[in-house]
Amino acid sequence: MLPLGMKADVDPDFYIYLCFGQSNMEGNATPEAQDKKDVDPRFQTLACVDFKNPQRTMGEWYTAYPPIVREGTGLGIADYFGRTMVKNLPENVKVGVVDVAIGGTKLEGFMQDKVGDYIASMNPKTEDWLINYFKAYDNDPYQRLVDMAKIAQQSGVIKGVLLHQGCSNCGDPKWPGMVKEIYDNLLADLNLKAEDVPLFAGELEYANMGGGCSGHNVQVNRLPEVIPTAHVVSAENLPGNGVDAWHFSAQGYRIFGQRYAKEALSLMGIEIEIDEPTPPATAFELDQPFASLDEIGTTPFVIYNEQTKRAFYGSTDQNLGYDVLSVALQASNATIGFRLEPRDGNYLLRAITPVGDEYSVWGGWAPGYLNSQPTDGWCSFILGLNNQNGQDIENGALWDIQYVDGKGFSLKNIGTGKYLQDALPAKYDDPAYFSFYSYKPASSGILDVKVQRVADPHIYTLDGRRVDPRHLRPGIYIQNGKKIIKH
């Protein structure tokens, strides 16, 4: 027998999750080859706007290949949330996401009594991009989420709400209460019960991973205090994109999505193992030298001068650095390596971040390459190709790379016709010779650390405060290393 109010054509095995927030929920990373294939058709996305590429119509269901949110967005949290859910649920169960997210928005953008004033406060010259994002949702993203959710309810059952937001409200103590207001409104407008539709909220990028708003995690972890059905998803050790202080890498989004799914499945009594990032290295070291370009293939490598004892790296301001290994191979650098991309007998040198992701520039959408400006006095840059400012030169990113036995590799720039020797433009008549090395995390001397857990019957809050079990308020607590929920 179907639950009261459920239509006969509603599939009770179609689990639907509402997603909202800003850019990390919108999808900021460029999807890589592994993200564009083998999506189980049991994972569906409801188009919340019309798409041209890929062709999608608002209000229709599609297999959830990225981009999920809007045309021009990228890989985000919802992608691997859904993939992980269907992988671990019975084959008769489908999962759908309804994702309305706006990169850069404050939480007020999802509050109907505040969104009008918020949009009116935007500068049309410097925030036209944000204004246009809101226009895509008729200047009311909350209402669009509700309208699409009602369409989704004609096909399946809403099982939860996924949130990732905070950078634009960083540290605001009113944030948990604002989340509660939006969550409560969703429950009321969609005739849902909180106990049936938990909220899953993710932390922001940690400071040790390059995050600039990690302090807001204090507010994120307060959510269970004001929303008893809220669950916080950790961002610990998730790699950032190496470009800015707010966004995760593609790898980071994959793992974050799995963590959201692990939390949701755990509430169903399903415990799973997921991918977890290696704790971040603080520095790297040279590993094996290469003696030919064919030997390198697609392996990332460091460009190192044996005579000067210096290596190239990308600084956080997108300049090319050239320094001793203790500086060049720090994990805090934007890039430390390069990957070969053959082109017409020459090579592009794709910049690679310390966590192994491809580096991008200009807000994350332009691929980053070693690119030499032909003007004396300018340094070589890590730049994209064909960006809107015309600051890059495609020929300046092409290199004639030759190996001389006993000397190493020379790099002659196609645009300048000169050789690279240092972090200045490739302007030299005589070549410098470099060694190309693979690299690995620097040895710490600590091979393995094992922690023996001791049973602890006491109950603690999420921030480590011991509490009296006789006077627990509704929320999430820790006992014996596991989360418990007090209703």
Catalytic residues: 23, 244, 247
Own/partner contacts of 320-323, CB < 8 Å, gap of 24 or more, are: 320/370, 320/379, 320/380, 320/381, 320/382, 320/423, 321/423, 322/422, 322/423
In terms of C-beta density within 10 A (0-12 exposed, 13-18 middle, 19 or more buried), how is residue 188 classed?
A: exposed
Per the structure block, which two tokens stand in for 251?
A: 């790898």
Q: Which residues, 6+ apart, have CB-to-CB distance to 238 below 8 Å? A: 205, 206, 209, 248, 252, 255, 256, 277
Instruction: Report the C-alpha gap between 355 and 302 in whole angstroms.
Output: 14
Place of tokens 């689990």: 15
Own/partner contacts of 351-355, CB < 8 Å, gap of 24 or more, are: 351/314, 351/382, 352/300, 353/239, 353/241, 353/242, 353/249, 354/242, 354/281, 354/284, 355/239, 355/242, 355/249, 355/251, 355/277, 355/280
Most distant pair of Cα atoms in the chain: their distance: 83
In terms of C-beta density within 10 A (0-12 exposed, 13-18 middle, 19 or more buried), how is residue 335 classed?
A: buried
Q: Which helix (H) or strand (E) holds 412?
A: strand 408-413
The alpha carbons of the chain give a radius of gyration, in whole angstroms, of 25
Q: Which helix (H) or strand (E) holds 224?
A: helix 223-226
Per the structure block, which two tokens stand in for 189?
A: 């407008």
- Nearest Cα neighbor of 356 from 419, 298, 406, 305 is 298
- Nearest Cα neighbor of 349 from 308, 386, 374, 312 is 312
Q: Name the region of 248 (left: φ>0; alpha: ψ -120 to 50; beta: rest).
A: beta
Instruction: Report the C-alpha gap between 322 and 327 in whole angstroms.
Output: 9
Strand-strand pairing, 466-467 and 459-460: antiparallel
